[in-house]
Structure 1
Amino acid sequence: MAMEKICNDYEISEKTLALIPAYNLEFGTIAMEGKEEYYVKKTPLELIKHAALIGGAEYDGRRSSMSFLTGIKRKVPIPINPRKNIYAFPTQSPSQMDCHWIFFSHVNHISAAASVSNKETTVLFQNGQKLQLKASAHTLDKQMYRTWMCVKALSGDSPLTP
């Protein structure tokens, strides 16, 4: 890997597919954007928190709001920038090192990978890119549904909205 590919920062955009935790001394995240990968010094959660601020509110505020509106208490999807339709969900607790962030609008299909354990899943994105994860397809399908609930809650036409 060439050193020039490592970035100090990365701005989450409508093109971001996923943020993958990296176990590397030089970078903390692999950001999937379109067909490109960016190696970023910051962690996925640091990038999510910064993007939430750019989108108009702190991460903790967005998380609390979604929890209130949907009843979701764990692995809460985050409306990073609702005006730009940027919503992401964690694959596990955001405090865990192996937490990936998947960007809802880019997911085409989630399927169980051909493995013995049922704990590996392939995420197929709209552009044909694939991401293999150590999480069950059931868990990721549930996260997709929860993110849809967040989108509906913020659109104002949801029975969930108080």
Structure 2
Amino acid sequence: MMEQKNYFVEKKMILMLGEYNRFGKLCARVMAGTSAFLVDRAPLQVLDDTLTYIGFDLKGATTGAKVVLDRKAKCPIIVNPYLGICLFPTKSPKKADCIWFNPEHIEKTTAMGNKTIVELSNGYTMIIESKLAAFNDKIEKARQLIHLSTKRGKQPDTSSYEHTPPIDHQLTKEKSGKYNFDTLGNL
């Protein structure tokens, strides 16, 4: 089976996880629809490639998600805001066995002891090393991120995010035509 050189995350992508190829290189195993294939890029590289292609980057998407959700770790990220694609990690994204799920393709979750059975949109199921409540919380956070980001993008509420500097810290143009940079020393 051949590896794909590149891949951009698309709506039909169900999940992606790290898998080492026959040379020991970390690649991305992608499940899209009823097919699965290996991409010659690590999962985080696939995410960054997708974001960079549309003018964003993984660092910005991660930082933005943390701010919107007020979380510090294992945040979902919006991989394509134009298509509304949001993915969430099952564990630290730095771990090779982290699985990135698209919540739109999760049909049902069921507890199986300390694990979770995940029913996917393509008719397949997976057993995940995560308690049901923790896994469902990740799904909910991903849905919350896409909802809040879309809402904020369509109707920005600038009153909740202050950008205006205080009046006493403004540089103004004086009658002489020069800006009052000398006030900087007075702060």
TM value normalised by structure 2: 0.74
User: Which structure: larger Rg?
Assistant: 2
Contact between 2:17 and 2:96, CA under 8 Å: does it hold in 1?
no
Aligned residue in 2 for 1:80: 79
Runs of 4 or more consecutive aligned structure 1 residues displaced over 4 Å after TM superposition: none
| Cα distance in 2 for residues equivalent to 1:51 and 1:126 | 22
Aligned residue in 2 for 1:128: 123
Amino acid corresponding to residue 24 of structure 1 in structure 2: N
Q: Does 1:22 align with 2:36?
A: no
Percent of pairs with identical residues: 22
Unaligned runs of 5+ in 1: none
Structure with higher RCO (Cα < 8 A, 6+ apart): 1
| Cα distance in 2 for residues equivalent to 1:82 and 1:64 | 15
Aligned residue in 2 for 1:149: 144
Amino acid corresponding to residue 138 of structure 2 in structure 1: Q
Correspondences of 1:92-111 after superposition (within 5 Å)? 92-111=91-110
- Rate the CA distance shift 1:89–1:55 in 2: closer, same or farther, 3 A: farther
Contact between 1:55 and 1:80, CA under 8 Å: does it hold in 2?
no
Contact between 2:107 and 2:120, CA under 8 Å: does it hold in 1?
yes
Summarize deviations over 1:21-41 as a string: whole Å, max 9, x none.
Answer: 213334622100000001122
TM value normalised by structure 1: 0.85
Unaligned runs of 5+ in 2: 161-187
Contact between 2:103 and 2:139, CA under 8 Å: does it hold in 1?
yes
Amino acid corresponding to residue 51 of structure 2 in structure 1: A
Amino acid corresponding to residue 86 of structure 2 in structure 1: Y
Q: Compute the RMSD of aligned alpha carbons.
A: 2.0
SS class of match (1:38): strand
State the number of aligned residues.
153
Summarize deviations over 1:47-77 as a string: whole Å, max 9, x none.
Answer: 1111122243111111111111110211110
Aligned residue in 1 for 2:4: 7
SS class of match (2:21): coil
SS class of match (1:132): strand
Aligned residue in 1 for 2:90: 91
